C-alpha cells in the first residue's frame, strides 16, 4: 500500500459588526425565496449543530460558540468526495443518504443564494474554496460539483510548504473581515490531498438599537467564583418574549427581522447546564410561546472567541471511517491508490455584541412543557446577569448560523 494521504477540512464563519447596507431583496421578496427551500436542509443543519454543541459542552465549561451552518456546509462539500461506508456514515450525520446527495447539493445551492442576499440592514456573504495539493489532481466531477453547487474557488498549492499557510490564512482573513487571521499554524503536510474551506461573513444592525448612554457597569454572576463587573446594555419597549418555569427568552431582530438573536436566560432555580440538556433532548422549544410584550432587557456587552478540534466529537457522533488512515474512502475526490481520510477538523469562532449589533467569526477545519406568557399588562424584566444561551438564525430559512453559551462575558478566549 502506498503512503497514506489526508484531507484537511476547514470551514470558516464570521459574524461581523453592524451594517447600514442592504442587498437586492426586501423582506417580502426574501420570504418568497425562502419558501422554496428544502426545509429538511435547515432541520438537518440545525440538528447537527445541536449534537456538536452538546458534545463540546460535555468536554468542559466556559464560553462556547459554534456555527451549525458552517460545519454542515463544509462537511457537505467533503461528503461529495466520499464513497462506500465512509459516505454512509457522513450521510447519516448530515441527514442525506448517499443517493440523496443531489438533493443535498441543490438545497445547499439554493440556501447559499438566499444567504448571500441578507436583505436590508444585513450584509451576509458566503464563500467556499478547495485547495488541492500541487501534483495530485482532484477529480473533475468533484471539482465541478464544488463549483456548480457550492460556488467553490478551485486553487492549487504546495500543501507541504510554508507558503500554503500564508495563502490559506490570507484567503480566510479576506473572507472574514480579518477577524480570523491565523487559521493554520503549520502546513497541512506532504500527505495532504486537499483543504476545503467554507467562510461566511455577516454584518447586521439591531432593528432597535441599545442607547449607549443607558449602558452601565453591573454585576454578572459566573457559575463559579465571585461576581464580575460587565458593561450592561439596557433597553425598554416591545419585544417578542417567552417565559417558562425554567427560563426566559427574548428575540432581538436584525435589519427588517430577516435575522435575529434569541437570548435564553435560565431561571433562578435552573442553570445553563439544564438548558443545554433540554436543548440536546429537543425539549427546549424556542419556536413557540413568544408574544409581543412590553418589558425591559438588560444584556451584557461581550466579546468571546472559541477554538477546538472536532475530530473526536465527530467520531463520537458516528463518523469513524472518515478519520481512519487505512479505511477512509474519498475516492470520488481523487484518483489515488491510497486511502484518503480526515486529518483534523478545526472550528473557531469570534463574537462581539454591542449596542449597535453583533460581530462574530467562526472557523471549522474539514457543528417542555409550554409555559404561559405573562399578562400583557404586566411588563417583564429580563436581567441577563448570569450564564445564558443564545443563537443567531435566519428567520426566513430557519437556518441557525450561530449557537452559543456565555458563562462569563469578561472572558475573551
Q: Which of 59-73, 104-118, 232-246, 316-330 has the lowest mean pLDDT?
A: 59-73
The per-residue pLDDT for 190 is 86
Q: What is the rounded radius of gyration, in angstroms, for the C-alpha atoms of the chain?
A: 21
Strands, E, within 326-399: which ranges?
340-353, 357-364, 380-383, 388-394
What structural domains does the chain harbor? 5-205+304-353 (3.30.497.10), 212-300+371-406 (2.30.39.10)
Per the listing, cell 418555569 goes with 245
Reported pTM: 0.88
The per-residue pLDDT for 250 is 97
pLDDT (tens digit per residue) in 172-185: 888 877 877 778 88
Q: DSSP string of 284-318?
A: ---SSS-EEEEEEEEEE-EEEEEEEE-HHHHHHTT
pLDDT (tens digit per residue) in 41-97: 999 999 999 999 999 999 876 789 888 998 899 899 999 999 999 999 999 999 999
- The band of 283, judged by pLDDT with boundaries at 50, 70 and 90, is confident
Residues 6+ apart with CB under 8 A from 148: 109
For 290, counting Cβ atoms within 10 Å of its Cβ (0-12 exposed, 13-18 middle, 19+ buried), the class is middle
Amino acid at each position: 500500500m502506498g503512503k497514506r494521504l489526508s484531507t484537511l477540512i476547514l470551514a470558516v464563519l464570521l459574524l461581523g459588526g453592524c451594517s447600514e447596507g442592504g442587498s437586492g431583496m426586501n423582506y417580502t421578496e426574501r420570504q418568497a425565496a425562502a419558501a422554496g427551500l428544502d426545509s429538511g436542509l435547515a432541520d438537518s443543519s440545525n440538528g447537527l449543530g445541536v449534537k456538536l454543541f452538546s458534545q463540546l459542552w460535555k468536554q468542559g465549561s466556559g464560553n462556547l460558540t459554534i456555527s451549525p451552518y458552517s460545519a454542515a456546509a463544509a462537511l457537505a462539500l467533503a461528503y461529495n468526495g466520499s464513497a462506500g461506508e465512509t459516505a454512509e456514515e457522513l450521510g447519516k450525520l448530515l441527514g442525506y443518504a448517499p443517493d440523496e446527495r443531489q438533493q443535498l447539493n441543490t438545497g445547499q445551492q439554493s440556501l447559499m443564494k438566499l444567504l448571500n442576499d441578507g436583505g436590508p440592514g444585513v450584509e451576509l456573504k458566503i464563500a467556499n474554496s478547495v485547495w488541492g495539493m500541487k501534483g495530485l489532481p482532484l477529480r473533475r466531477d468533484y471539482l465541478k460539483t464544488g463549483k456548480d453547487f457550492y460556488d467553490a474557488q478551485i486553487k492549487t498549492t504546495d500543501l507541504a510548504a510554508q507558503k500554503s499557510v500564508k495563502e490559506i490564512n490570507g484567503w480566510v482573513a479576506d473572507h472574514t473581515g480579518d477577524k480570523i487571521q491565523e487559521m493554520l499554524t503549520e502546513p497541512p503536510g506532504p500527505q495532504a490531498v486537499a483543504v476545503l474551506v467554507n467562510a461566511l461573513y455577516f454584518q447586521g444592525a439591531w432593528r432597535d438599537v441599545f442607547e449607549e448612554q443607558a449602558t452601565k457597569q453591573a454585576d454578572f454572576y459566573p457559575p463559579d467564583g465571585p461576581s464580575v463587573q460587565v458593561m450592561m446594555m439596557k433597553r425598554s419597549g416591545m419585544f417578542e418574549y417567552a417565559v417558562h418555569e425554567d427560563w426566559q427568552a427574548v428575540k432581538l431582530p436584525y435589519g427588517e427581522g430577516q435575522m435575529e438573536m434569541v437570548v435564553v436566560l435560565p431561571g433562578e432555580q435552573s442553570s445553563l447546564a439544564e438548558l443545554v440538556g433540554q436543548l440536546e433532548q429537543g425539549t427546549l422549544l424556542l419556536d413557540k410561546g413568544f408574544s409581543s410584550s412590553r418589558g425591559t432587557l438588560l444584556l451584557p456587552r461581550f466579546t468571546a472567541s472559541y477554538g477546538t478540534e472536532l475530530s473526536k466529537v465527530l467520531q463520537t457522533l458516528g463518523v469513524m471511517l472518515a478519520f481512519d488512515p487505512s479505511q477512509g474512502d474519498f475516492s470520488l475526490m481523487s484518483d489515488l491508490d491510497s486511502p484518503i481520510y480526515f486529518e483534523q477538523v478545526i472550528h473557531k469562532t469570534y463574537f462581539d455584541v454591542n449596542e449597535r449589533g453583533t460581530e462574530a467569526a467562526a472557523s471549522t477545519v474539514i457543528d417542555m412543557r409550554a409555559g404561559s406568557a405573562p399578562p400583557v399588562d404586566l411588563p417583564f424584566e429580563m436581567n441577563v446577569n448570569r450564564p445564558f444561551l443564545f443563537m443567531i438564525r435566519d428567520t426566513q430559512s430557519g437556518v441557525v448560523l450561530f449557537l452559543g453559551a456565555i458563562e462569563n462575558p469578561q472572558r475573551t478566549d
